[in-house]
């Protein structure tokens, strides 16, 4: 499915509870939001990139990085429990009604995945265009020790396997591979999936596998510390002499 209009949508609300002003908190000397904005604008596949936010301070910071902000998101769509589906639909409806702009597909990029790069975005879009799917979600492979076949739960004070299994054949090599969404890195879906199926996923969901290194999802102060160490490590790798 070749697409003429591919909308990159970055969502960033204020009022985060876990980390104060998380989306504009400095990460390795740069606002968290800036990492996603910069990589989205580098993308060769996105034809338009916009920000959705209700927070004027966030918008001001974002505009320093030359991103388009078509409207001020209603505050009722910026609560802790507001589903992403409603946020995305509101912005897309606004663009359709006010600008007569209808994207073929939408790429949702959230600022809490600062290590996702423009090549990841472009690879995911290319994969999506080559397949007849409703959506695509970036994922990481679940480590074998976190597999449902390794998980246990408490029942009446004793550990019991989460899933029943044959102990004689419970080998790591025989466990099926499981995948998990890697936070908020990349979500891609068609306009039809969003508006007609009222979903970010639909029925046919493609996986885009990413390395754990690029998949951190920022939610706590500890996550910021880990991300800074990873960024420093990447920077050190780039400065190592090649001769």
Q: Annotate 52-79 with DSSP letters as a single string.
A: EBS-HHHHHHHHTTT-B---BPPGGGSS
Q: Is 194 a member of any domain?
A: yes
Residue 117 inside a domain? The answer is: yes
In this structure, the answer to whether residues 158 and 206 fall within a common structural domain is no
| The predicted structure's pLDDT at residue 240 | 42
Q: 67-80, pLDDT tens digit by residue?
A: 999 999 999 999 98
Name residues whose C-beta falls within 8 Å of residue 187's C-beta, 6 or more positions apart in sequence. 107, 108, 109, 135, 136, 137, 138, 200
pLDDT at residue number 211: 92
Task: Please report whether residue 124 resides in a domain.
Answer: yes
pLDDT at 146: 81
24 and 64 co-located in one domain: yes
pLDDT in the model for residue 242: 45
Domain membership of residue 36 as a residue range: 6-140+180-239
Residues 6+ apart with CB under 8 A from 179: 139, 140, 141, 142, 207, 209
Nearest to 130 by CA among 4, 1, 3: 1
Say whether both 116 and 188 belong to one domain.
yes
SS3 237: helix
Residue 184's pLDDT is 76
**What Cα–Cα distance (Å) separates residue 164 from each residue in 149, 152, 153, 167, 231?**
8, 10, 12, 9, 41
- Same domain for 125 and 81: yes
Residue 1: inside a domain: no
Q: How many domains does the chain have?
A: 2
Domain membership flag for residue 28: yes
pTM, entire model = 0.89
Same domain, 153 and 222: no
Task: Specify the pLDDT at position 171.
Answer: 60
Residue 233 neighbours by CB distance under 10 Å: 11
29 lies in the same domain as 148 = no
Strands 6-11 and 105-109: parallel
59 & 113 share domain = yes
- pLDDT tens-digit series, residues 13-41: 998 777 889 999 999 999 999 999 999 99
Residue numbers in the chain where pLDDT is lower than 50: 240-243
Give the DSSP H or E segment for 40: helix 32-42
């Amino acid at each position: 499915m070749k697409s003429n209009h591919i909308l990159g949508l970055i969502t960033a609300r204020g009022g985060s509870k876990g980390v104060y002003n998380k989306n504009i908190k400095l990460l390795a000397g740069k606002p968290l939001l800036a990492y996603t904005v910069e990589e989205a604008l580098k993308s060769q596949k996105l034809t338009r990139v916009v920000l959705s936010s209700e927070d004027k301070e966030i918008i001001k910071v974002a505009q320093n990085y030359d991103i388009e902000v078509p409207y001020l998101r209603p505050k009722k769509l910026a609560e802790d429990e507001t589903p992403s589906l409603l946020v995305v639909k509101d912005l897309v409806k606004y663009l359709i009604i006010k600008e007569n702009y209808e994207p073929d597909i939408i790429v949702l990029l959230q600022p809490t995945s600062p290590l996702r790069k423009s090549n990841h975005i472009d690879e995911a879009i290319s994969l999506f265009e080559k397949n007849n799917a409703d959506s695509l979600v970036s994922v990481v492979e679940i480590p074998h020790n976190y597999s449902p076949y390794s998980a246990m739960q408490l029942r009446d004070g004793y550990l019991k396997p989460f899933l029943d299994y044959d102990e004689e054949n419970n080998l790591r090599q025989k466990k099926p591979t499981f995948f998990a969404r890697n936070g908020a890195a990349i979500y891609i879906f068609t306009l039809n999936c969003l508006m007609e199926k009222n979903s970010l996923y639909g029925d046919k969901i493609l996986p885009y596998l990413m390395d754990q290194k690029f998949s951190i999802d920022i939610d706590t102060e500890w996550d910021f510390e880990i991300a800074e160490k990873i960024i420093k490590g990447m920077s050190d790798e780039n400065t190592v002499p090649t001769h």
